[in-house]
Amino acid sequence: MYSSPLLPREKVFRDPVHNYIHVEHKVILDLINTTEFQRLRRIKQLGTSSFTFHGAEHTRFTHSLGVYELTRQICNNFRHNYPTKAPGDGLWDDDANRLVALCAALLHDIGHGAYSHTFEHIFGTNHEHITTEILTSPETEVNQVLRAIAPDFPEKVASVIDHTYPNPQVVQMISSQIDADRMDYLLRDAYNTGTKYGLFDVTRILRVMRPYSEGIAFESDGMHAVEDYIICRFQMYQQVYFHPVSRGMEVVLQHLLQRAKYLYEHHQLGELTPTLLVPFFENDFTLHDYLNLDDGVLNTYFIYWREDPDDTLRDLAHRFLDRKPFKSVTYSQETRALIPKMRDLISAAGFDKDYYAALNDSYDLPYDAYDPSSKEPKTQIEIMAEDGSLRELSTLSMLVAAIAGRSTGDERFYFPKEMLAKSDGGLFTPIYQEFQSYIHNGALAFPQRKESTDDDL
């Protein structure tokens, strides 16, 4: 259906995770060379996690190339092993779908911004909407490249990302419980953090994927590789993504942006203007404004603010740039009642409790089996027997059953490290002591120190 000229000679990019990224189509190379895609080089994949795992300095650029490469390999497998017998039988039709899938894979994160999660929370942006806008707005280079394939091609690619594309195989390649996106980030994050939790047998998983009418299933002789992937994902969430210290940095970042916004709105921001952020402070920004932002731009303004007259802004900027995370304790339904009291003590110790105390929870369902009572059932992982019958993964795997449908995050209360001081040599000592008495009595009985951190809580 859609087609793009092949490059005169396949191009390869050396990649530490997949060895090589193979580019065969001109359209892919052209997309990589757009200004919107090159911007991803300046946005870290894991945000504040690199403050905990120093090796995690990789960007959304490298991740996006990886998702593209895995999708390419899945498509190759499907084309080679499951060529469509007849058009319209609901199964994989390579000609119609391949190019859509490859472009969607490459561009699925194109709308991400600097420190996305936090930034969106403060400024009301939405990276998914922006992704669609980048794909479909005629002002972007990405759109121009896509449109050169066919006038409706940009919308087709966008529809994969918002899950409305009619072919379920293409949608599930890019977004499902076990898709090219998740597989690449687990492998890449494991590689760069240096943890071993994210390693699983991607070659085998790719090999046992097969299209069926409802999407993608996994042949039964790869069941254990799929199981292993689910376990790896579970462990990466527990050990890396939910790390309390990374979240302690995220809390600092959130308060820092909040404070800056407050000061801007009250005309109290210092004289160094954060030009590229102004449209966002004024809630009047264009796509062009959004695409000018990246990690370095935000950090640059944090450097400005590290010398701002406002004590809170200055201090929070310093804490973020110089890695002074807030500390935390977990809390539960029972111990939750202590938090207002602890906030008051933080105030009493001289901190503005609106900026120096926070709740933060992190939850993820490592694998959700279909649940009829659930309102938003996620795609389940289907294992296909030799006779073509399907069984949902958790009915076959003890390990997956153990974690299916169970959230694994925790809820934490964050506060400045200063509250853990033995003494300030004066006034605040009794405040610290009272604060710490709550921690030792009220927090989780069995706190686990985590690795890769100089912080105990």
Hey, which residues between 393 and 452 contact a second copy (CB under 8 A)?
A: 396, 398-399, 401-403, 406, 408, 446-452
Nearer to a second copy, 2 or 320 (CB): 320
Q: Which stretch binds a second copy (CB under 8 A): 61-69, 131-139, 166-174, 348-356?
A: 61-69
Nearest approach, Cβ of residue 287 and a second copy (Å): 15
- With 0-12 / 13-18 / 19 or more C-beta atoms within 10 angstroms meaning exposed / middle / buried, residue 180 is buried
Nearer to a second copy, 20 or 427 (CB): 20
Residues 6+ apart with CB under 8 A from 218: 178, 205, 208, 209, 210, 226, 381, 382, 383, 384
Q: Does 234 bind a second copy (CB under 8 A)?
A: yes
Indicate which single residue of 2, 27, 53, 382 sits in contact with a second copy (rule: CB under 8 A).
Answer: 53
Helices (H), 266-366: 278-281, 287-291, 295-305, 311-321, 339-348, 353-356
Q: Does 223 bind a second copy (CB under 8 A)?
A: yes
Nearer to a second copy, 136 or 299 (CB): 299
Give the bridge partners for 218, in sequence order.
Answer: 209, 383
Taking every pair of Cα atoms in the chain, the longest distance, rounded to a whole number of angstroms, is 82
Q: Is 124 left (phi over 0), alpha (psi -120 to 50) or beta?
A: left
Indicate which single residue of 1, 29, 365, 420 sits in contact with a second copy (rule: CB under 8 A).
Answer: 29
Nearer to a second copy, 300 or 347 (CB): 300
Q: Does 78 bind a second copy (CB under 8 A)?
A: no
- In the chain, the amino acid numbered 443 is A
Q: Does 25 bind a second copy (CB under 8 A)?
A: no
Write out the binding residues for a second copy, residues 245-264 only, by CB under 8 A.
none
Q: Does 284 bind a second copy (CB under 8 A)?
A: no
String of b and e for 322-348 (b: at least 16 CB within 10 Å)?
ebbbbbbbbbeeebeebbeebbebbeb
Task: Dihedral sign for Cα 208, 210, 216, 219, please.
Answer: negative
Nearest approach, Cβ of residue 401 and a second copy (Å): 7
Residues 6+ apart with CB under 8 A from 95: 1, 3
Q: Does 196 bind a second copy (CB under 8 A)?
A: yes
Task: Dihedral sign for Cα 159, 161, 162, 166, please.
Answer: positive
Q: Does 207 bind a second copy (CB under 8 A)?
A: yes
Q: Does 38 bind a second copy (CB under 8 A)?
A: yes
Q: Per-residue x/- marks for a second copy, 317-356, CB under 8 A?
A: -x--xxx---------------------------------
Give the bridge partners for 25, in sequence order.
Answer: 6
Nearest approach, Cβ of residue 7 and a second copy (Å): 9
Three-state SS for 87-116 is: CCCCCCCHHHHHHHHHHHHHHCCCCCCCCH
Write out the binding residues for a second copy, residues 304-323 only, by CB under 8 A.
304, 318, 321-323
String of b and e for 43-74 (b: at least 16 CB within 10 Å)?
bbbbbbbbbbbeebebbbbbbbbbbbbbbbbb
Indicate which single residue of 184, 294, 308, 382 sits in contact with a second copy (rule: CB under 8 A).
Answer: 294
Indicate which single residue of 89, 139, 265, 296 sits in contact with a second copy (rule: CB under 8 A).
Answer: 296
Nearer to a second copy, 39 or 247 (CB): 39
Nearest approach, Cβ of residue 452 and a second copy (Å): 4
Distance separating alpha carbons of residues 116 and 136, to the nearest angstrom? 21
Nearest approach, Cβ of residue 208 and a second copy (Å): 9
Q: Does 238 bind a second copy (CB under 8 A)?
A: yes
Nearer to a second copy, 323 or 353 (CB): 323
Contact 81, 151 (CB under 8 A): no
Q: Does 220 bind a second copy (CB under 8 A)?
A: yes
Indicate which single residue of 4, 48, 59, 73 sits in contact with a second copy (rule: CB under 8 A).
Answer: 59
Q: For residue 341, give Cα distances in angstroms to 338, 413, 420, 428.
A: 6, 12, 16, 16
Q: Which stretch binds a second copy (CB under 8 A): 119-127, 176-184, 216-224, 342-350?
A: 216-224
Backbone angles phi and psi of 440, in degrees to 5? -75, -25
Q: Does 6 bind a second copy (CB under 8 A)?
A: no
| Cβ atoms within 10 Å of 361's Cβ, excluding its own | 13
Number of residues counted as binding a second copy (CB under 8 A) = 90
